[in-house]
A = this chain, B = another copy of it.
């Protein structure tokens, strides 16, 4: 009647218009091979003339699954997750599927409820960014349909995981700082809730160790859940006698806190590398050096896998590890003041990569 897609048209209307049975219409809709071309064409014409769109619910009722995938993330406002949802949506729409979003707020109960709601809705597949190390909720991940986990390890076995090499990338970042002469590097991370932070700390320690530097517990914080926490933790750290000359923010969530502190206190001499690119990172003073984990690539890889499984779920589960890249923008390439270098406990090895940039 209006421009709205015709609502009341059913498969019966099409069958009548085309002079065939509803089964034949069904075959045409589903692209069955065994339909006479002429028949298929007249059915197709009827479908278009009547603007027929198969009822998703009825379809679902028989199949048990909808042409819908569920995407479960921490927070939809977080640029990292927003990018993932965006890619999931465009990829899904491209193959005629819809995306149902669910935010957990990293709350176990909410995650459980969201998961069961999505399953109940008959999603054909799930893209999940789990939180928590061995959080029991992920043991409840449905096994009867395609699932792809992203970004973080959850302790669940036998399910695809698409992620980056957190340890290796962090190690690279720290080696980068060391190559510029830094020996006192602060590590700021979130609470132990995430495997990623654990691995990033491991990379940090490995880089120090490889350079013959011993870690200073006073420079390591794993209590920064957000920007404010980072600001609170870093403030006394910078005022301490053995202050860091560089900061490694192991997640972009806390980056604003660090940048804010450095800007406000006028400490433009503190080097900074952030794990994860963030909007406006190039507009800070100096521009912020980051490890780009390429959320878009992660999401595409995850959707490749998920859509492949929607077609055929008999694939062996595997871990897909994607590369990251260090983007030097300035803040991570600041050399420490001479005094700090002299005070250092050990000399960093020479010849580290990126060392050509060392003063």
Chain A residues near B (Cβ < 8 Å): 2-5, 7, 53-58, 60-61, 66, 68, 75-77, 79, 82-83, 85-86, 89-90, 93, 98-103, 113-122, 136-137, 139-144, 256, 259-260, 263, 278-280, 282-285
Among A98, A113, A140, A284, the one with the most B-chain Cβ atoms within 10 Å of its Cβ is A98
Q: Which residue of B lies closest to A263 (CB)?
A: B283
Give the CA-CA distance A143 to B284 in the complex, in Å. Answer: 48
Query: Measured between alpha carbons, how far is A100 from B89 in the docked complex, in Å?
Result: 10
A269 to B136, CA, bound (A): 55
B282 touches A280 (CB 8 A): no
Question: CB-CB < 8 A to A263: which residues of B?
Answer: 283, 285
Q: Are A140 and B256 in contact (CB under 8 A)?
A: no
Given contacts A4-B144, A256-B280, contact A93 B114 (CB under 8 A): yes
Q: Which residues of B contact A98 (CB under 8 A)?
A: 100, 102, 117-118, 121
Q: CA separation between A154 and B326, bound complex, in Å?
A: 44
Contact of A3 among B85, B90, B139, B282 (CB under 8 A): B139
- Among B77, B86, B282, the residue within 8 A (CB) of A79 is B77
Min Cβ gap A121→B in Å is 5
Most central of A79, A121, A285 by chain B CB within 10 Å: A121
With both chains docked as a complex, state the minimum distance between the C-beta of A251 and any C-beta of chain B, in angstroms.
Answer: 15
A79 to B2, CA, bound (A): 34
CB contact under 8 A between A122 and B57, given known A2-B140, A7-B144, A77-B79: yes
Residues of B within 8 A of A2 (CB): 139-140, 143
Report A96 CB to chain B, min CB distance, Å. Answer: 8
Q: Find the B residue at minimum CB distance from A58.
A: B61
Query: A83 with B77: in contact, given A53-B116, A89-B101 (CB under 8 Å)?
Result: yes
Partner pick for A256 among B7, B89, B142, B279, CB 8 A cutoff: B279
**Residue contact A57 to B53, C-beta cutoff 8 Å:** no
A98 (CB) vs chain B CBs: closest residue: B100
- Do residues A120 and B56 form an inter-chain contact, with CB atoms below 8 A? yes
CA distance A3 to B260 in the complex (A): 44
The answer to whether A101 touches B101 (Cβ under 8 A) is yes
Closest 10 pairs (CB-CB, A-B): A3-B140, A57-B60, A76-B86, A280-B280, A5-B116, A82-B82, A57-B61, A53-B120, A77-B86, A4-B142
In the complex formed, the residue of B with least CB distance to A53 is: B120
Closest Cβ of chain B to A348, distance in Å, is 30
Known: A53-B116, A99-B100, A102-B89. A140 touches B285 (CB 8 A): no
- Say which residue of B3, B89, B259 sits within 8 Å of A103 (CB atoms): B89
Chain B residues with Cβ below 8 Å from A282 are: 260
Q: Is the CB of A86 within 8 A of B103?
A: yes
Which residues on B sit within 8 Å (CB–CB) of A58?
57, 61
Decide: B139 and A5 in contact? CB cutoff 8 A. no
Q: Closest CB of chain B to A135's CB: distance in Å?
A: 12
Query: Nearest chain-B residue to A118 (Cβ)?
Result: B98
Closest CB-CB distance, A282 to chain B, in whole Å? 7
Report 10 cross-chain contacts, Cβ distance below 8 Å, ordered by A residue: A4-B140, A57-B122, A77-B83, A79-B79, A89-B101, A93-B114, A98-B102, A98-B117, A256-B279, A260-B283
